[in-house]
Amino acid sequence: MDLDFWWLLVIPVAFALGWMASRHDLKALLSESANLPRSYFRGLNFLLNEQPDKAIDAFIEVAKLDPETVELHFALGNLFRRRGETDRAIRVHQNLLSRPDLPVNERDHALYELGQDYLKAGMLDRAEETFVSLQSGDHAQGAQRALLTIYEIEKDWNRSIETARHLESMGAGSLDLEIAQFHCELAQEALQQKKPDEARRQLERALKANPQNVRATILGGDVDAASGAFEAALAQWRRVEEQNPAYLPLVAEKVMKAYEALGHAEDGAQLLTEWVDAYSSNDLLDVAYKYVAALRGADAAHVLARTQMQKSPNLAGMSRLLEAQQAAAEEPRRSEIELMRSLLQQRTKNLPRYTCQNCGFRARLFYWQCPGCSGWETYAPRRVEPVPASN
């Protein structure tokens, strides 16, 4: 009985205390809200309704009424930068940094945002100077990533490697894929400057960072071929099949030229025919068809094109098959095929594209680094035919 009695007292008291606490929190929230200018809420409403221009005007009014609103200044600066008004974003963040009483963490935040403003405006020297000053704190890793972006834009590959390694030491995860590509860029420069030994050193470092880096293998073959060592070059390029056969179209023409230089063009044509049969690819077929037609005749090229079209029907393959049929046909059939092929080529001339798997950017040439999102190895090494949208 005594226990039940005490529970009857405890439950109402607990309920009353909870009700009083909630009332206190509600009063505090209403008090804080009452202290905020109406322009602040108008700005939020404009943002929610995707009206950034009106939101900026409202937030500017708030900033004038209450200059101490640091977070609002950050939001305002970011809005300016997103709109491309980098000069106004820079002024906002510079004004924040001019405050003598700004806490250290807020100062670092302002520096980081200012660096982003400079980067967006293309003022790379100022951006670099700003990010370099952020060696510690919550924004240090973000600053190093921004520095890496700057060095990639400037094609300063040695500093890119140093910064990537520094990022790894800060816990950013493995950047071996990117580091291998930076070494490949240095090797490419050395090859253009006719420094084969330096190119080989850089390629060794690239493969040490990422043993599956196909580009380093391809460039290794290029270095050997440039010095006339075609057997060694072929050994390098044929390794691509082991690493990733999807990249074989990038070396097909190189392989055939090397076999021709060695006086074994037929062996090269046979190898390409085997590749086409094992890995269906229009790009491989284009190279193989040309050399098979030259070495074995139009009939052999026709068989090759027809077989691949049966295995993997597509517009580019159809164009190649019509070319083979045209070569073997007689008048007036040849003229009819030429007309069909001409119409098909007009339809497909701009269809095949290399497509970035990260951002979807399409390009007519293959890139190791996407021009759209700057990602490395994001392009599939084969062209694709976009599927037209249905009505």
Tell me the three state secondary structure of residue 357.
Answer: coil
335-383 pLDDT, tens digit per residue, is: 666 666 676 666 666 655 788 889 888 888 889 999 989 999 998 887 6
Model pTM greater than 0.85?
Answer: no
11 and 24, same structural domain? yes
- pLDDT value at position 309? 74
198 located within any domain = yes
Least-confidence region, from 40-44, 94-98, 178-182, 349-353:
40-44
b/e code 90-115 from CB counts within 10 Å (16+ = b): bebbeebeeeeeeeeebebbbbbbbb
How many folded domains does the chain comprise? Answer: 5
User: Nearest 5 degrees, angle CA 101-CA 94-CA 96?
Assistant: 30
Query: What mean pLDDT is predicted for residues 293-322?
Result: 75
- pLDDT value at position 305? 77
* 8 Å CB contact between 81 and 116: yes
* 8 Å CB contact between 133 and 146: no
Identify the domain boundary among 173, 192, 227.
173
Query: What mean pLDDT is predicted for residues 57-83?
Result: 66
Asked whether residue 184 is marked as a ligand-binding residue, the answer is no
114-135 pLDDT, tens digit per residue, is: 999 999 999 999 999 999 999 9
178-217 pLDDT, tens digit per residue, is: 999 999 999 999 999 999 999 999 999 999 999 999 999 9
Q: Give CA–CA dist 273/271, Å, rounded.
A: 5
Identify the domain boundary among 173, 197, 220.
173
142 and 82, same structural domain? yes
253 located within any domain = no
Domain that holds residue 327: 261-349
50 located within any domain = no
- pLDDT value at position 42? 52
- pLDDT value at position 384? 61
196 and 162, same structural domain? no
- pLDDT value at position 10? 45
169 and 184, same structural domain? no
CA-closest candidate to residue 272, choices 293, 295, 294, 256: 256
Identify the domain boundary among 124, 148, 173.
173
Query: What mean pLDDT is predicted for residues 212-224?
Result: 97
- pLDDT mean across residues, the chain: 80
382 and 366, same structural domain? yes
184 and 112, same structural domain? no
What is the CATH number for 133? 1.25.40.10
234-274 pLDDT, tens digit per residue, is: 999 999 999 999 999 999 999 999 999 999 999 999 999 99
- pLDDT value at position 147? 97
160 and 96, same structural domain? yes
357 and 324, same structural domain? no
- pLDDT value at position 141? 96
Query: What mean pLDDT is predicted for residues 11-39?
Result: 45
- pLDDT value at position 388? 45
